[in-house]
Amino acid sequence: MCARLLLVLALFVSFSSDAAAQARMKVLLDTDIGTDIDDAWALGLLMVSPRVELVGVTICDGNTPARAKVAVKLLHAGGMGAVPVAVGRATEPPDSVDYQFTWAEDFTAVKPIATSAADFIVDTLRKHPGEITLVAVGPLQNIADALRKEPKLGTLARRIVLMSGSIAGNVWSPTAVAEWNVKRAIADAQLVYSSVPLTIVPLDSTSYVTLRNDERARLEKHPAPLTRALEALYRLWLGAPDQRMTLHDQLAIADTLSPGEFFGQCPSMPIRVDEKGFTRVDSAGGKPVNVCLEPKRDAFMKFYIDGLLQAK
């Protein structure tokens, strides 16, 4: 009787584990990690979330090989070195010094895969149609290149979420601006915005959420290799003692994991990218885009910090 009970319990545990694995959300992250700090800290949440199966990371914009080294080292530090990292086409680098690159410049334990970022996106979505949420938190070269290879990309993805755009105004400007991820690759953004169903998390929301000292201190005290790596990158990014991270990309990750939960409203708006990189609300020429507005800062920050503290 005891042996039979143990067998039943073992089968139950196995079934529960399989069910949990099957229920995890498949996510593919496209990022320009290595310039602003929010990319690395957004990837960190995907790495530790028990709700996520991270199927790959693709690298966009500027010195993509150097960015890829930051991604593979961070994944390795968090015990996820097997996650494939695919490098996108290099573009003319911005006029900035990316000190985070020095953190990984001599790292050789893991290397990116040989497949290009666009090919990896297309191949992965074709293998898992309707299953993968594609999250892009940088300029849209890779997503556009993937669309040029596979025009049905929008129907192959379960969902596409961008940190992108500026609709009305933000903490730095009372009016809309040409947001970096759009203006950096305007033709690519125009293609993406006009071709696939999108959810965007714009500057109108992200610019209002910054990391407080006490929130950073909680993570500094957490003795996990991942959180230590994130703190090291944070210190390389800091340009002044009072500078604080704005959680642009993390808010896109939060809406990926819990759609709509951390925003007061997510209306559908007709959006068009103009020739200067502005995301215009245009009822005549725009395509419907879900726009995440009115961030619920406290609820989001609890979700985010508690999530990173799950790092082992």
Looking at the 3D structure of the chain, how many domains does it have?
A: 1
**Structural domain includes residue 245:** yes
Give the pLDDT score at 18: 44
- Whether the per-residue pLDDT at 238 is higher than 80: the answer is yes
Q: What is the pLDDT of residues 9-39, one digit of tens each?
A: 444 444 444 444 458 999 999 999 999 999 9
Q: Are 115 and 7 in contact (CB under 8 A)?
A: no
**Structural domain includes residue 9:** no
Helix axes 213-220, 297-308, angle to 10 degrees: 10
In this predicted model, which residue has the larger pLDDT, 271 or 7?
271
Give the pLDDT score at 198: 98
Q: Given pLDDT bands bounded at 50, 70 and 90, which one contains residue 93?
A: confident
The CA distances from residue 300 to 23, 50, 263, 307, in Å, are 22, 17, 9, 10
Q: Are 125 and 134 in contact (CB under 8 A)?
A: yes
Helix or strand run (H / E) with residue 49: none
**Structural domain includes residue 297:** yes
Q: Are 34 and 101 in contact (CB under 8 A)?
A: yes
Q: What is the pLDDT of residues 291-311, one digit of tens each?
A: 999 999 999 999 999 999 999
Q: What CA–CA distance (Å, rounded) separates 183 from 275? A: 9
DSSP-assigned beta bridge partners for residue 27: 54, 133
**Structural domain includes residue 238:** yes
Burial (CB count within 10 angstroms: exposed 0-12, middle 13-18, buried 19+), residue 236? middle
Task: Please write down the long-range contacts of 244-247, taking CB distance under 8 Å and 24 or more positions apart.
Answer: 244/210, 244/211, 244/212, 245/37, 245/38, 245/41, 245/210, 245/211, 246/38, 246/206, 246/207, 246/209, 246/210, 246/211, 247/38, 247/41, 247/206, 247/209, 247/210, 247/211, 247/300, 247/301, 247/304
Q: What range does the domain containing 187 cover?
A: 24-308
- Whether the per-residue pLDDT at 49 is higher than 80: the answer is yes
- Whether the per-residue pLDDT at 96 is higher than 90: the answer is no
**Structural domain includes residue 16:** no
**Structural domain includes residue 17:** no
Phi, psi for residue 293 in degrees, rounded to 5:
-125, 160
Q: What is the pLDDT of residues 129-140, one digit of tens each?
A: 999 999 999 999
Share of the chain above pLDDT 70, in %: 92
Domain with residue 100: its CATH number is 3.90.245.10
Query: Left if phi > 0, otherwise alpha if psi is -120 to 50, otherwise beta: which for 130?
Result: left
The CA distances from residue 272 to 160, 189, 200, in Å, are 17, 10, 13
**Structural domain includes residue 201:** yes
The mean pLDDT of 217-245, rounded to a whole number, is 95
What pTM was estimated for this model as a whole? 0.92
DSSP symbols for 127-183 = HSTTTEEEEE-S-SHHHHHHHHH-TTHHHHSSEEEEE---SS-BTTBSS----HHHH
Among the residue ranges 4-18, 64-78, 90-104, the one predicted with the least confidence is 4-18
Residue 139, CB half-sphere, CA atoms under 13 Å: how many?
Answer: 25
Give the pLDDT score at 22: 52
Q: Are 161 and 134 in contact (CB under 8 A)?
A: yes
**Structural domain includes residue 13:** no
Give the pLDDT score at 13: 43
